[in-house]
Homo-oligomer: A and B are copies of this chain.
Amino acid sequence: MAMPSRLHLLSLAALAFAGVVAPDDAFAQGFPPVVPTPAQVRPAVDQAITQLMAAPKVQKVLDALKADHARTVDDLKMLTEIEAPPFKEQKRAEAFLARLRALGLADAKIDAEGNVIGLRKGSGGGPKLVVTAHLDTVFPAGTDVKVKERDGKLYAPGISDDTRALTVLLSWLKALNDSDVQTVGDLLFVASVGEEELGNLRGMKRLFADHLDIDGMVGLEPVPDGGVLILGTGSHRHEVTFKGPGGHSYAAFGQVPSAIHAMGRAIAKIAEVRTPASPKTTFTVGTVSGGTSVNTIAPDAKMAIDIRSDAMAPLLETEKKILATIDESVAEENRRWNVDTLSASARLIGDRPGGMTPASSAIVETAVRANTAFGQQTLLSGASTDANVPMSLGIPTIVIGGGGKTGGFHALGEWIDVTEAWKGAQNSLVTVLGLVGVQGVSQPLLEKRAPRSR
């Protein structure tokens, strides 16, 4: 889960996910979700989840998850203690791949971007659902990732975001295999790279470019029980550099354009850009720097721009307006001094697509109904995660939790309390099984889509 983006969430419920407010408090205090939770679900969803919860075979899987708890915690410690800084996920990927293979996905592999991918085929004719967790953490190489136990909690950088989720994927696989459960649709197990920060979701971008037949995705993140992320705010970031010849403020005056003046012209125009309130679309020039000295016509200036939106169309439209101000401003500054010696260039430094899964979609209703089965009220919220990629493609996608109480993400004090964490793993697996269906028990709730074209 990308922290800075998580703060997108607007609602203080977001802070609950960040561990600032305990999730229960967040719910108790009635913080508004991004959209209301559906009061009812369609009959097919209700029927499928009812069938699953009643099926002895499914009950056996859920019991297996509970019984696997201690082993899962061992996996958690093992994987957490393998560093996985941005762009350096390989060692952890290899350890995860070895586990996937040992647990029955012999053909699992690491793709060209570094994602670990293993397919558990269904009985046929069903949808293909990706279930994911991300390998990378925000922590640089050399961070102390030794797991420490204190006051009933496990402390270590990255332990809850997102290593717990990696172990839930493994536990699901083991329980399904040990209980001989045959899903109708395919499950594509993915441990992704590049979810955090400058990774810019490179793992997911590659996955969805390589696999055009994915019908839906369930991402696992340290979301508290009952939480369902359906909004993935997209963001594009640009660093814009202005360059001119520079010169003495008095001697060269009138002959030389100013990189700072051109940038100021651009910022003034950007400050007046208008964006829709819904889908919420925002922008800011977050940082500026430039110039040599007070008495030098600036030869250089630089600014970093952040543009975000809950939907791709207004994101791209706002970006277009903002980038247009750069060229206009350069032209104005050159015209002011009758020269052509000033130029500017923009570099994309952040690229997270975005989108939203409708609250009324089957995938969301499935999660809502599964939550109900586990006594959890649903909160529909948003964050910037791997899910942004499929959401931007219109592929049904949700992000849910894998159990445990968590907090301190992106800080050295990150922690997880694994007490009864299996309950979260059970709850989310029922959602997944509802979507792909279980042979002899329920039909898939996720629809097969026409394959995307390249």
Contact = CB atoms under 8 A, between A and B. Distances in A.
Interface of A: 4-5, 7-10, 14, 233, 235, 237, 248-251, 253-254, 258, 260-272, 277, 280, 282-298, 301, 303-306, 308, 332-333, 336, 349-350
A286 B282 contact: no
A261 B271 contact: yes
A229 to B, nearest CB: 15
A217 to B, nearest CB: 23
Given A233-B250, A306-B294, A285 B268 contact: no
Nearest to A350: B294
Contacts of A292: 286-287
Contact of A308 (B14, B249, B289): B249
Contacts of A295: 4-5, 235, 237, 284, 286, 306
Interface centre among A9, A250, A251, A305 (most CB of B within 10 A): A250
A251 B14 CA distance: 10
B287 A298 contact: yes
Given A266-B264, A270-B264, A288 B286 contact: no
Nearest to A257: B271
A396 B357 CA distance: 80
Contacts of A287: 260, 290-294, 298
B271 A267 contact: no
Contacts of A267: 260-261, 263-265, 267-268
A194 to B, nearest CB: 18
A67 to B, nearest CB: 42
A333 B271 contact: yes
A272 B336 contact: yes
Nearest to A295: B306
A63 to B, nearest CB: 42
A105 to B, nearest CB: 38
Given A14-B251, A264-B288, 12 more contacts: A5-B295, A250-B282, A253-B283, A260-B303, A262-B271, A286-B291, A286-B293, A286-B296, A287-B292, A288-B288, A294-B305, A295-B306
Nearest to A7: B248
22 contacts: A4-B248, A4-B293, A4-B295, A5-B250, A5-B295, A8-B248, A237-B294, A249-B282, A249-B306, A249-B308, A253-B282, A253-B284, A258-B285, A260-B288, A261-B271, A261-B285, A284-B295, A284-B298, A286-B296, A287-B290, A287-B294, A295-B306
A296 B248 CA distance: 34
Contacts of A258: 271, 284-285
Contacts of A233: 250
A250 B7 contact: yes
A250 B308 contact: yes
Nearest to A284: B249
Contact of A251 (B10, B251, B263, B301): B10
Contacts of A14: 251
A304 B293 CA distance: 8
Nearest to A282: B253
Nearest to A304: B294
- Closest A-B pairs by Cβ, 10 of them: A264-B267, A287-B291, A268-B268, A253-B282, A261-B271, A286-B294, A294-B304, A249-B284, A265-B268, A249-B306
A118 B34 CA distance: 79
A8 B249 CA distance: 8
A339 B237 CA distance: 26
B260 A268 contact: no
Given A288-B290, A289-B288, A290-B287, A264 B271 contact: yes
Interface centre among A285, A298, A349 (most CB of B within 10 A): A285
Contacts of A8: 248, 250-251
